Amino acid sequence: MGEKHKSTKPPHVLLFPFPSQGHINPITQFGKRLNSKGVKTTLVTTIYISNKTLSNNTSIPIEPISDGFDDGGHQSADSSESYVNKFREVGSKSLADLIRKLNSEGNHIDAIVYDSFITWALDVAMEFGINGGCFFTQSCAVNNIYYHVHKGLLSIPPNATVSLPGLPNLQPSETPSFVHNPGPYPGWAHGLFNQFSNIHQARWVFTNTFYKLEEEVIEWMRKMWPLKVVGPTVPSMYLDKRLEEDNNYGISVLKPNHTECMKWLNDKPKGSVVYLSFGSGGKLGCEQMEEVAWGLNESNVDFLWVVRETEKEKLPKEFVAKGLVVGWCNQVEVLAHESIGCFVTHCGFNSTLETLSLGVPIVGMPQYSDQTTNAKCLEDIWDVGVRVKADEKGLVRRKNLALCIKEIMEREQGVVARRNANKWRDLAIQAVDEGGSSEKDINEFVFHLKA
């Protein structure tokens, strides 16, 4: 049966990201690359996310499964722990049911590429004799730190400077928040440290980064696992342009104010606009929101600020924005616009890769999770901007924000940051273009699937 199947049908890969926009984007984008190389893919996501999805402009069909929270997703769980436990319990069963269903329809599965957060997907895959590939959506630097915690080689919280293979020395506050301040979300923290529990059984380990960006730590990881470095998973039209019309991620759970953003940006001079976004799930507190709002108005720059509808009530009552505030945008298209001069970012890893791939300098305003480490890398290693300092309450004050924006928009530091960002942009393009390091790793995977 195997022989017949291989000769007549393209290989079929299930893609299974953690159910949130920041995880769906990179894995879907990887799926598009696989499609372009003759591999069929199916995206598995939760019923909740599938129902919320406004559009799927990709050619990747979606198969919904239950995570036990069909009506409200993980936001409706009592705690991160209860979500993680229920997702494992209900998700394992529903993923197995889906595999049975696809098999019974003659829709044979050759591999499951699963999010590194969802270790149990590999157990399910193996029950069916399917190869699993673990996909890390975070940087290798961050994976390295979590790996050392997992192995008991790094204490939580660290009590001194952290020194790990392939990484510069890190202050405890520059490690991910789950390491230096593990309190608030024990379920997520445990999930992140646990990503490596069955990794030795994965047939492939994918990571959304590129060789030149994290060379040393990639070399260190390659010695342990069958690593495939496949990033940056930014839509192709901003990089190698080989996937025609691929100019956005294609699966969105929030509606972008696309026309309004583009119209507004088109009227602005080159490099004059500050773009701000704090990601798809992160929330600023009311006081922080107020500081950002007044900091922007006081700094007298044109700004485009993404404030999700659910966050808008935190804007100060008397605030009349001197820029444009939108509920959601197509971020890559915004970053690619020539009017953009600087990105004030929470430093989520997709945003990090996007800003590097589009050559936009940053002001880093990390909030939690891996963002603190990404911000450190952006400022000190990749040299594409500055981190804005928070006060003793952990809040970024308006004056500091305005000063950092000025530094990037008006001073020599901004010129250097943009020059470096453009250098990373060239390297990102080379990585995914024909013959590049990521292209080579993707081709090797496809070759295994087709062999």
Q: Are 233 and 208 in contact (CB under 8 A)?
A: yes
Q: Which of 67, 115, 302, 441 is catalytic?
A: 115
- In whole angstroms, the minimum distance from the beta carbon of 1 to ligand UDP comes to 40
Please tell me the count of residues contacting ligand UDP according to CB under 6 A: 19
- In whole angstroms, the minimum distance from the beta carbon of 301 to ligand UDP comes to 19
Conformational region of residue 38, where left means phi above 0, alpha means psi within -120 to 50, and beta covers everything else:
left
Beta bridge partners, 364, equal: 345, 387
- C-alpha to C-alpha distance for 179 and 153, rounded to whole angstroms: 12
Which residue, 124 or 332, has its beta carbon nearer to ligand UDP? Answer: 332
- Please list, in sequence order, all residues whose beta carbon lies within 8 angstroms of the beta carbon of residue 404, skipping any fewer than 6 positions away: 363, 386, 388
Tell which positions 4-63 bind ligand UDP, by CB under 6 A: 21-22, 25
Which residue, 302 or 354, has its beta carbon nearer to ligand UDP? Answer: 354
User: Around Cβ 21, how many Cβ atoms within 10 Å?
Assistant: 21
Which residue, 220 or 249, has its beta carbon nearer to ligand UDP? Answer: 249
Structure tokens at 1: 């049966």
- In whole angstroms, the minimum distance from the beta carbon of 104 to ligand UDP comes to 35
- In whole angstroms, the minimum distance from the beta carbon of 58 to ligand UDP comes to 14
Which residue, 50 or 131, has its beta carbon nearer to ligand UDP? Answer: 50
Residue 306 touches ligand UDP, criterion: CB under 6 A: yes
Interhelix angle 412-432/349-357, rounded to 10 degrees, is 90
Which residue, 91 or 279, has its beta carbon nearer to ligand UDP? Answer: 279
Among 409, 349, 337, 341, which residue's Cα sits nearest to residue 378?
Answer: 349
Q: Which span sits near ligand UDP by CB under 6 A: 53-61, 297-305, 322-330, 417-425?
A: 322-330
- Selected from 117, 305, 328, 343, the binder of ligand UDP by CB under 6 A is 328
- Selected from 44, 332, 377, 402, the binder of ligand UDP by CB under 6 A is 332
- Please list, in sequence order, all residues whose beta carbon lies within 8 angstroms of the beta carbon of residue 271, skipping any fewer than 6 positions away: 338, 339, 340, 341
- C-alpha to C-alpha distance for 234 and 428, rounded to whole angstroms: 9
User: Around Cβ 267, how many Cβ atoms within 10 Å?
Assistant: 8
Q: Which span sits near ligand UDP by CB under 6 A: 41-49, 152-160, 265-273, 323-331?
A: 323-331
Tell which positions 256-295 bind ligand UDP, by CB under 6 A: 277, 279-282
Structure tokens at 191: 């999930």
Residue 330 touches ligand UDP, criterion: CB under 6 A: yes
First to last CA, the chain: 15
Is 123 one of the catalytic residues? no
- In whole angstroms, the minimum distance from the beta carbon of 367 to ligand UDP comes to 8
- C-alpha to C-alpha distance for 117 and 188, rounded to whole angstroms: 9
Is 115 one of the catalytic residues? yes
- In whole angstroms, the minimum distance from the beta carbon of 249 to ligand UDP comes to 6
Which residue, 47 or 329, has its beta carbon nearer to ligand UDP? Answer: 329
Write the DSSP assignment of 280-295 as a string of letters.
SS----HHHHHHHHHH
Which residue, 26 or 436, has its beta carbon nearer to ligand UDP? Answer: 26
Write the DSSP assignment of 387-446 as a string of letters.
EPPP-TTSPPPHHHHHHHHHHHHHSHHHHHHHHHHHHHHHHHHHHHSTT-HHHHHHHHHH
Tell which positions 344-363 bind ligand UDP, by CB under 6 A: 348-351, 354
Query: How does strand 251-252 pair with strand 55-56?
Result: antiparallel
- In whole angstroms, the minimum distance from the beta carbon of 302 to ligand UDP comes to 17
Kindly list the residues in this chain that would bind ligand UDP in the complex (CB under 6 A).
Answer: 21-22, 25, 277, 279-282, 306, 328-332, 348-351, 354
**Which residues participate in catalysis according to the annotation?**
23, 115
